[in-house]
């Protein structure tokens, strides 16, 4: 028996998965509507293989009656006709009926499925109450029938038998039954999809892996993978379906590229056949069955395959609501197809590809317009404008090919080409027959006549330009405009063409595109020549003559055009003025001398360096430079203040091309770099491109009214008449760099600015309207200036130092007999010198002469005779001065200078930049050119810092002086002495062994003297420290003295303090943690001293004089704990050897040799005593005064501890003694404490230590043995 002929499958978008239904067809028919509606309502999660992400899908099914012919035959890979599930319907509840007919029918159904290998089936048993009522006699319970079916057919798959109870009733039981049935059907369908699609994908993958074997066909594989795409589309998984077509696209593209590289495939031969039809894309059908049949038979051409593949991709993208991706892919497809045809060397009629591209562009645009409204199209024109421009370009190519652009119209040969092209289009497709604006009709009409072609071409061009302008793609809009200009030039309309070319030129100039700029200028020059615009044509010709992108022949041609016009004889009115930037560039300007600043009457030249852009040498009649004189700066004297301004006008000015080019608008040049994309696996080159590194500076919107290169859009060039005009005649400029020297005026003082340049070439003038950056030179008239500067920094006081006098003569002429009168100063004498010469230099710093100076000194004035010197010269000489170091003694009365002014004594102060003390020395100089004295200052630095201190050891006294070298020099010290200036009975015994000492930089020297007296130690000492010093590394005639005066007050020792720590009873030594007794003995050593506060006696009888002392015991090192009262008041008699004993309990906190706690004795001043605040200029810290009420941080802490222990004594303090307040007055009226001066209290136990033993000698040591 012959197999019935298979019917062709109609692939439409209504395809659904096939589900066969066997058994009771009437029962299924009654339930079909409900089943078909309820099945796709709930989504199901579809988990796919190979780790792909799960998706939620709605399942639909095409329920058909079961036939054995529907079962898949071996080798059939059509998934759309594959039944994914088989259902058997029955409502049998009668045992006899089940055994008689139903069971046998089920058995035949299952055997058929088993024979064809179909394992996806389910049996549905429907239970109705009406059926039970009709067959009550033979009815068995439902469970019995179901059990029999499951035991006969579903032994291992009990879930393959489902019960549907009362399906036609609206009850909860019926709804639950329906829900269970629908869930089971969806689950079985998904299982079948997963299994069958997985098997199909494995077979497809196996087939793809065989592509290197002989006999493999891409068309066969295409049909297989497209079947998978159909299934995904049937399941409404459009993204997955699109992936299948993209993979086919990539696979075919790779084969074409390999073919171009020499790797051929046999099946590609069918795609290399000549192209016979170029009717464009067809996107109005879901599936183009004609082209699919050609692919299936292996008869499709390259354009057929690409057209069909893109139509399927377009359909899926529209279903995915991504219409703008269609336009992007379409543009790539059209460009790639042209390249693929060239790679495969396919024979194509000239113009056929242009027709195919034009029709395809319009077809894509019409398809997008069909699924989007006008608002969406307008908002997304950036995606479609590429197709509009591509269609315009191809229509222009067709017009040029068919002779529709020329002025004379098409020839007979052009008409034959048109007929051949229209024949390849074939008949119009049925889908577009009724459309008046179909691509087929547009192309046919455009090629039919010159007028129709112009109308369609202009319509497309203007539409593309408007879209480009709407999305701010001005470059592309100008490119379309340039194409329009070429069209108008071919039509003989240069006026319209020039407007488009000028717009394109503005874009290229502003963005710096060199080659398009040159090409556009050539086209503009052609238009201007045809329109007889002489000035514009000469301007453009000059630009082209200097354009290095052109060949030498072309440049010489345009240069000759200028020379021909310049050589014409005519009146002045026919002269043409052009910009100099098109003829030559000013690259550098240099003044001689290079300072660009000269005095009045000096010679000054300016050198202009011009780079001629012309390809041949050009003879100029003259070159003129206009100079502007600024009269506002001529008033006054241009002295030192103008010297700083002259530094801003350098003698050499470099000009870049952008500063004087008329085509420049400040836009930076392109910075391009190459980029390469390489494969990470084998480092092979995938793609290459060019990237712009300064896009942020270039891609910005420019004003459409930017100045043009031509004089049409700019202000007319004129040469302003100035009072100063520099001219040079008969100059020849050669191609490249040329140097021209001009002599500039320098008579009147002021500022001169170079404004304009002009070169004259016959009837043509080239003008540089503005010289930028500004070029200025200065002519000055300067007053004489006298400065004094040290030769070496810093100047050290106490040592001879050289200083340099510099006289800038300015406009003054130093005559013979002129002298400088310097006022002498006792603190800084000028040292005499046997030879002192003056050097005379000109403005360039060159030595002109040298002469010995005559220096005469008197008591008050030093006169320096000056040698003769010309104006604007410098005169320099050196003098040696000595700044005396002040001793700190009383100052003598002020002196007066020679001009009657009071000479102020130099005051020393601390400089923030150096540790040395600075002294400013001022000198007054009378100059012959002025009636006023010139005051100059020099800063000297004292190399030493000195401080003193008083040391005591019982009744013995010592004076220590610290000399610190704060300079960078090393010194040698000699004759170090200390003298007492008032009391000659005192003896200061020097304890320093060495007579000579070396004091290095940043080091200190300590000197010690013991004070010895015979009768009585005075209350104050007036000392004078002296030493002779000289630099260690410099040879001087002798050492220089250094003196330091200071005074020591209250040097007598009034009290001695002795302390003793007694161990606890029964202990020979102190122990840690046990209380010990601290006995303090305070002994008065002298009688009442001057200034001591004596306690008033309340009794009438005469009592001994006493004073109050405050003692305090504290330990800042935390070695001792003071138990009980740590401070108290002592009433001390003012008689020698009077002793007061105090006992305090202390506890050692640590074992070892511990220092004694700190014991401090303070004066107690009652509220009636006046504050004893006296400045002490000779304190222990340098020469600064120290207030007796000031306390250290430790003293403040001790005072706080006294107050915290409830002491009845109060301490008063003030924040600002210079401005007392009411609070301060109250504090001064309260009792207060005052420390003794250094040396008045001697503590014998200050450095004494006591042995403290631990509490126990038992030591426990833990040992862990393992």
Residue 619 in tokens: 């003879």
Residue 629 has which token pair?
A: 């004189």
What value does the mean pLDDT take over residues 686-714?
A: 59
* CA-wise closest residue to 1238 among 948, 830, 917, 871: 948
Give 590-621 as a DSSP string.
EEESTTSEEETT---EEEEEEEE-SSS-EEEE
* pLDDT higher than threshold 70 for residue 111: yes
* Residue 130 pLDDT: 60
* Model confidence at 186: pLDDT above 60: yes
Name the nearest CA neighbour of 300 among 275, 330, 333.
275
Q: Which pLDDT value is given to residue 262?
A: 83
pLDDT tens-digit map of 1199-1246:
333 333 333 333 333 334 444 444 445 545 667 888 888 888 888 888
Buried-state track 255-278, b at ≥16 Cβ within 10 A, e below 16: bbeebeeeeebebbebbeeebeeb
- pTM (predicted TM-score): 0.56
On average, the pLDDT of the chain sits at 80
Report the distance separating Cα 318 and Cα 120, nearest Å.
34
What is the per-residue pLDDT across 319-375, written as a single tens digit (0 to 9) for each? 999 999 999 999 999 999 999 999 988 999 999 999 999 999 999 999 998 888 888
Question: Pairing mode, if any, of strands 597-599 and 775-780?
Answer: parallel
Complete DSSP assignment for 660-715: H-TT--SPPPP-EEEEEEE-TTT--EEEEEEEETTHHHHSS---TTPPPSSTTSSP
Q: Write out the two tokens for 1013.
A: 């007296």
Give 848-888 as a 3 state SS string: EEEEECEEEECCCEEEEECCCECCCCEEEEEEEEECCCCCC
Q: Which of helix, strand or coil describes residue 1144?
A: strand
As a whole number of angstroms, the distance between CA 597 and CA 638 comes to 11
CA dist 959 and 387 (Å) reads 105
pLDDT at 1262: 60
End-to-end Cα separation, the chain, in angstroms: 99
Confidence of residue 888 (pLDDT cuts 50, 70, 90): low
The span from the CA of 1164 to the CA of 1127, in Å, is 13
pLDDT for the residue 254 = 92
With contact defined as beta carbons under 8 Å apart, do 72 and 1 qualify?
no
Residue 921 — very low, low, confident or very high, per pLDDT cuts 50/70/90?
A: confident
Token couple for 731: 């100059």
488 — alpha (psi -120 to 50), left (phi > 0) or beta? Answer: alpha
Compute the average pLDDT of residues 231-258: 90
SS3 state of residue 417: helix
Report the pLDDT value the prediction gives residue 650, as an integer from 0 to 100: 63
Residue corresponding to tokens 């309207």: 769
The Cβ of residue 971 has, within 10 Å, a number of other Cβ atoms equal to 29
The conformation of residue 719, written as its DSSP 8-state character, comes to -
The model's confidence at residue 419, banded by pLDDT at 50, 70 and 90, is very high
* CA–CA gap between residue 162 and residue 73 (Å, rounded): 29
Angle between helices 238-260 and 323-343 (to 10 degrees): 20
Q: Alpha helix (H) ranges present in 1002-1119? A: none
Contact assessment for residue 160 and residue 123, using Cβ atoms and an 8 Å cutoff: yes
Q: How would you classify the pairing of strands 1070-1071 and 1249-1253?
A: parallel
Checking if the pLDDT of 242 tops 90, the result is: yes
User: Taking the CB of residue 831, how many other CB atoms lie within 10 A of it?
Assistant: 12
Residue 639 CB-density burial (10 A; 0-12 exposed, 13-18 middle, 19+ buried): middle
Predicted confidence at residue 519, as pLDDT, reads 93
pLDDT of residue 1263: 60
**Which phi and psi (to 5°) does residue 1018 adopt?**
-65, 160
Q: What is the pLDDT, as a whole number, of residue 1201?
A: 34
What is the pLDDT confidence band of residue 64, given thresholds at 50, 70 and 90? confident
Least confident of 604-608, 635-639, 844-848, 979-983: 635-639
Calculate ∠ Cα 1189-1195-1196, nearest 5°: 85
Examine residue 593 and say whether the peptide bond preceding it is cis (omega within 30 degrees of 0).
Answer: yes
Q: In whole angstroms, what is the distance from residue 691 CA to residue 679 CA?
A: 19
User: What is the rounded average pLDDT of the residues 777-793?
Assistant: 86
Tell me which residue of 710, 721, 719 sits closest to 757, measured CA to CA. Answer: 719
Peptide bond into 794 cis (omega under 30): yes
Q: What is the C-alpha separation between 1193 and 471, in angstroms, rounded? A: 78
Distance CA 371, CA 379 (A): 14
Q: Percentage of the chain with pLDDT > 90?
A: 18
Top-confidence residue, 714 or 298: 298
Q: Check residue 754 and give its pLDDT.
A: 86
List Cβ neighbours of 1032 (8 Å cut-off, separation of 6 or more).
969, 970, 971, 972, 998
Q: Are 311 and 285 in contact (CB under 8 A)?
A: yes
Instruction: Tell whether the model's pLDDT for residue 936 goes beyond 90.
Output: no
CA distance 25 to 35: 14
Three-state SS at 764: strand
Q: Region 108-112: what's the mean pLDDT?
A: 86
Query: Please, is 814 exposed, middle or buried when counting C-beta atoms within 10 Å of its C-beta (0-12, 13-18, 19+)?
Result: buried
DSSP type of residue 846: -
For the record, the structure tokens of 179 come out as: 């829900």
- Residue 777 · residue 633 · CB < 8 Å: no
**What pLDDT, on the 0 to 100 scale, is given for residue 311?**
93
The β-bridge partners of 578 are: 766
Residue corresponding to tokens 């002498």: 824
Rg (CA), the chain: 58
Tokens representing 263 are: 């790797």
Q: Give the per-residue pLDDT at 716.
A: 58
Query: In what order do the strands lie in the sheet containing 1249-1253?
Result: 1070-1071, 1249-1253, 1152-1155
| pLDDT score of 645 more than 50 | no
Instruction: Give the C-alpha separation, 59 to 16, whole Å.
Output: 9
pLDDT digits (tens, 9 = 90+) for 822-875: 888 888 888 887 778 888 898 778 888 888 888 888 878 888 888 998 888 889
Mean pLDDT of the region 185-199: 86
| CA gap 277, 280 in Å, rounded | 9
Average pLDDT over residues 30-44: 85
What contacts 24+ positions apart, CB below 8 Å, involve 4-11?
A: 4/69, 9/78, 9/80, 9/81, 11/80, 11/230, 11/287, 11/289, 11/292
Separation CA 1238–CA 421 (nearest Å): 122
Which residues neighbour 212 within 8 Å (Cβ) at sequence distance 6 or greater? none
Cβ–Cβ under 8 Å, residues 737 and 609: yes
- Find the mean pLDDT for residues 53-58: 83
Burial 815-825 (b: 16+ CB within 10 A, else e): eeebbbbbbbb
- pLDDT over 50 at 707, yes or no: no
Longest C-alpha distance within the chain, in Å?
165
Output the pLDDT for position 1213: 36
Which of 72-86, 163-177, 689-703, 924-938 is predicted least confidently?
689-703
Is 245's pLDDT higher than 90?
A: yes
- Expressed in percent and rounded to 5, the helix, strand and coil fractions of the chain are 30, 30, 40
């Amino acid at each position: 028996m012959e197999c019935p002929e298979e019917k062709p499958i109609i692939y439409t978008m209504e395809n659904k998965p096939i589900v066969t239904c066997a058994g009771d067809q009437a029962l299924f028919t009654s339930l079909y509507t409900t089943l078909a509606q309820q099945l796709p309502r709930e989504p199901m999660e579809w988990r796919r293989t190979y780790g792909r992400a799960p998706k939620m899908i709605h399942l639909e099914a095409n329920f058909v009656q079961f036939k054995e012919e529907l079962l898949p035959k071996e080798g059939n890979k059509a998934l759309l006709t594959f039944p994914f599930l088989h259902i058997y319907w029955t409502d049998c509840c009668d045992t006899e009926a089940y055994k008689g007919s139903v069971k046998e029918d089920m058995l035949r159904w299952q055997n058929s499925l088993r024979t064809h290998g179909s394992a996806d089936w389910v049996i549905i048993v429907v239970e109705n109450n009406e059926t039970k009522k009709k067959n009550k006699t033979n009815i068995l319970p439902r469970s019995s029938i179901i059990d029999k079916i499951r035991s006969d057919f579903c032994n291992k798959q009990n879930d393959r038998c489902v019960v549907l109870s009362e399906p036609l009733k609206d009850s909860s039981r019926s709804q639950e039954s329906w829900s269970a049935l629908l869930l089971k059907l969806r689950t079985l369908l998904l299982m079948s999809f997963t299994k069958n699609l997985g098997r199909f994908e494995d077979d497809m993958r196996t087939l793809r892996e065989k592509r290197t074997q002989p006999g493999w066909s891409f068309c066969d594989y295409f049909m297989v993978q497209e079947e998978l795409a159909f299934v995904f589309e049937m399941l409404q998984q459009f993204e997955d379906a699109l992936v299948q077509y993209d993979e086919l696209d990539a696979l075919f593209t790779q084969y074409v590229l390999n073919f171009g590289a020499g790797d051929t495939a046999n099946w590609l031969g069918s795609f290399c056949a000549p192209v016979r039809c170029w009717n464009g894309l067809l996107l109005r059908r879901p599936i183009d069955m004609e082209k699919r049949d050609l692919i299936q038979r292996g008869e499709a051409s390259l354009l057929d395959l690409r057209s069909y593949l893109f139509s399927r991709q377009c359909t899926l993208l529209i279903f995915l609501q991504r219409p703008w991706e269609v336009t992007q892919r379409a543009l790539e497809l059209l460009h790639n197809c042209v390249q693929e045809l060239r790679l495969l060397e396919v024979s194509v009629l000239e113009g056929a590809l242009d027709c195919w591209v034009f029709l395809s562009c319009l077809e894509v645009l019409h398809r997008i317009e069909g699924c989007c409204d006008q608002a969406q199209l307008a908002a997304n024109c950036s995606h479609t404008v590429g197709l509009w421009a591509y269609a315009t370009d191809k229509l222009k190519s067709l017009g040029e090919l068919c002779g529709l652009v020329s002025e004379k119209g098409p020839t007979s040969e052009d008409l034959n080409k048109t007929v051949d092209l229209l024949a390849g289009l074939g008949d119009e497709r049925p889908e577009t027959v009724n459309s008046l604006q179909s691509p087929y009709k547009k192309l046919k009409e455009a090629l039919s006549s010159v007028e129709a072609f112009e109308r369609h071409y202009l319509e497309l061009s203007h539409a593309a330009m408007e879209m480009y302008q709407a999305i701010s793609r001005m470059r592309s809009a100008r490119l379309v405009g340039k194409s329009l200009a070429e069209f108008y030039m071919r039509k003989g309309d240069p006026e319209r063409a020039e407007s488009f070319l000028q717009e394109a030129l503005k874009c290229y100039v502003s963005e710096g595109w060199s080659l398009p700029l040159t090409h556009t200028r050539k086209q503009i020059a052609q238009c201007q020549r045809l329109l007889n615009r002489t000035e514009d044509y000469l301007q453009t010709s000059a630009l082209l003559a200097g354009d290095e992108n052109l060949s030498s022949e072309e440049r010489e041609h345009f240069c000759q055009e200028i020379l021909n016009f310049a050589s014409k004889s005519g009146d002045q009115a026919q002269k043409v003025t052009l910009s100099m930037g098109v003829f030559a560039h000013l690259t550098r300007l240099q003044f001689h001398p290079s300072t660009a600043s000269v005095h009045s009457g000096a010679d000054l030249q300016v050198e202009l360096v011009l780079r001629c852009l012309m390809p041949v040498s050009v003879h100029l009649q003259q070159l003129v430079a206009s100079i502007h004189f600024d009269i506002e700066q001529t008033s006054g004297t241009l002295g030192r203040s103008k010297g700083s301004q002259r530094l801003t006008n350098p003698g050499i000015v470099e000009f870049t091309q952008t500063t004087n080019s008329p085509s420049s608008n400040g836009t930076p040049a392109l910075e391009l770099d190459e980029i390469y994309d390489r494969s990470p696996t084998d480092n092979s080159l995938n793609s290459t491109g060019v990237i712009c590194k300064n896009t942020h500076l270039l891609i910005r919107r420019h004003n459409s009214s930017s100045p043009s290169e031509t004089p049409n859009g700019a202000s007319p060039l004129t040469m302003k008449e100035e009072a100063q005009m520099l001219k040079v005649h008969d100059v020849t400029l050669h191609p490249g760099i040329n140097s021209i020297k001009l002599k500039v005026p320098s008579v009147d003082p002021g500022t001169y600015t170079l404004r304009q340049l002009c070169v004259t070439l016959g009837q043509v003038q080239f003008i540089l309207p503005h010289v930028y950056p500004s070029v200025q030179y200065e002519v000055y008239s300067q007053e004489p200036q006298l400065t004094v500067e040290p030769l070496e920094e810093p100047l050290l006081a106490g040592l001879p130092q050289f200083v340099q006098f510099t006289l800038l003569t300015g406009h003054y002429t130093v005559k013979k007999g002129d002298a400088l009168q310097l006022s002498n100063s006792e603190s800084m004498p000028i040292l005499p010198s046997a030879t002192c010469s003056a050097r005379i230099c000109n403005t360039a710093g060159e030595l002109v002469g040298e002469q010995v100076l005559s220096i005469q000194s008197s008591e008050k004035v030093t006169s320096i005779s000056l040698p003769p010197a010309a104006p604007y010269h410098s005169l320099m000489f050196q003098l040696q001065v000595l700044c005396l170091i002040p001793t700190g003694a009383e100052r003598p009365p002020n002196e007066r200078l020679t001009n009657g002014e009071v000479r102020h004594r130099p005051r020393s102060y601390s400089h923030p930049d150096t540790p040395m003390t600075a002294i400013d020395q001022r000198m007054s100089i009378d100059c012959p050119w002025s009636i006023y004295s010139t005051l100059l200052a020099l800063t000297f630095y004292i190399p030493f810092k000195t401080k003193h201190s008083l040391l005591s050891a019982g009744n013995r006294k010592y004076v220590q002086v610290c000399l610190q070298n704060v300079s960078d020099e090393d010194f040698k010290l000699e004759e170090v002495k200390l003298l007492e200036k008032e009391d000659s009975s005192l003896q200061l015994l020097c304890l320093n062994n060495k007579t000579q000492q070396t004091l290095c930089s940043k080091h200190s020297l300590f000197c010690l003297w013991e004070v010895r007296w015979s009768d009585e130690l005075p209350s104050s000492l007036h000392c004078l420290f002296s030493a002779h010093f000289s630099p260690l590394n410099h040879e001087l005639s002798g050492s220089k003295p250094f003196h330091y005066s200071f005074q020591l007050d209250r040097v007598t020792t009034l009290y001695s303090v002795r302390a003793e720590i007694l161990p606890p009873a029964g202990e020979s030594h102190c122990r840690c943690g046990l209380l010990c007794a601290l006995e303090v003995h305070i002994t008065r050593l002298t009688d009442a001293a001057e200034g001591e506060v004596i306690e008033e006696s309340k009794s009438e009888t005469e009592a001994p004089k006493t004073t109050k002392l405050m003692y305090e015991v504290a330990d800042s090192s935390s070695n001792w704990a003071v138990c009980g009262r740590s401070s108290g008041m002592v009433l001390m008699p003012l008689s020698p050897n009077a002793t007061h004993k105090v006992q305090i309990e202390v506890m050692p906190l640590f074992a070892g040799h511990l220092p004694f706690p700190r014991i401090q004795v303070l004066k107690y001043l009652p509220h009636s005593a006046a504050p004893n605040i006296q400045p002490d200029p000779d304190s222990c810290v340098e020469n600064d005064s120290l207030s007796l009420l000031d306390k250290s941080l430790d003293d403040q802490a001790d005072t706080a501890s006294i107050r915290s222990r409830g002491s009845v004594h109060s301490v008063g303090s003030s924040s600002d003694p210079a401005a007392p307040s009411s609070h301060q007055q109250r504090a001064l009226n309260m009792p207060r404490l005052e420390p003794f001066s250094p040396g008045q209290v001697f503590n014998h136990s200050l450095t004494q230590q006591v042995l403290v033993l631990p509490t126990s000698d038992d030591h426990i040591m833990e040992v862990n043995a393992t």
